[in-house]
């Protein structure tokens, strides 16, 4: 729905290069806040190379959560105006400079109205653009 808003316009790739991880900022491509349990999948490619989801985390606020465990986080709210941080493994590091980043985020959209049950509605958003990696720890 709001795919083009997922990667903030002034977003940078960050990272803890000594730990072999990198981060990317992510915005919710939906018009309402959702619990993290609605995140069904996050796929990232950098310069056409897929990023492994093993060890990938997402943080909204001060707490990091494993992507593999977000289905259990119905009490953790991702507010529509909040930026999440996705941390992923970058074993070979990232060279400073521009990179092509593509993100696909799959969301399960909950509806509480009984007249819509059962419903299985997902929103898959994909966006890609050039992102600058500053080549420093953040």
Q: Where are the domains of the chain?
A: 3-130
Q: Give the C-alpha separation, 112 to 35, whole Å.
A: 14
- Integer CA distances (angstroms), 43 to 16, 101, 113, 120, in order: 20, 11, 30, 21
For residues 99-113, average pLDDT: 77
Q: Is 31 in a helix, a strand, or coil?
A: coil
Predicted local distance difference test score (pLDDT) of residue 49: 86
Phi-psi region of 47 (alpha: psi -120 to 50; beta: other; left: phi over 0): left
Confidence tier at 110 by pLDDT (50, 70, 90)? confident
The overall average pLDDT reported for the chain is: 76
Predicted local distance difference test score (pLDDT) of residue 91: 62
Which pTM was predicted?
Answer: 0.75
């Amino acid at each position: 729905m709001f795919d083009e808003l997922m990667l903030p316009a002034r977003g940078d790739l960050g990272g803890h290069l000594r730990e072999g991880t990198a981060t990317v900022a992510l915005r919710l491509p939906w018009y309402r806040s959702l619990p993290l349990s609605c995140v069904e999948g996050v796929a990232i490619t950098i310069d056409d190379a897929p990023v492994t989801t093993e060890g990938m985390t997402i943080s909204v606020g001060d707490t990091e959560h494993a992507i593999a465990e977000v289905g259990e986080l119905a009490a953790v709210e991702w507010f529509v105006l909040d930026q999440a941080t996705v941390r992923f493994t970058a074993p070979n590091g990232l060279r400073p400079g521009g990179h092509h980043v593509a993100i696909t985020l799959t969301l399960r959209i909950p509806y509480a109205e009984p007249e819509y049950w059962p419903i299985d509605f997902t929103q898959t958003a994909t966006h890609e653009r050039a992102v600058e990696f500053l080549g420093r720890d953040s």
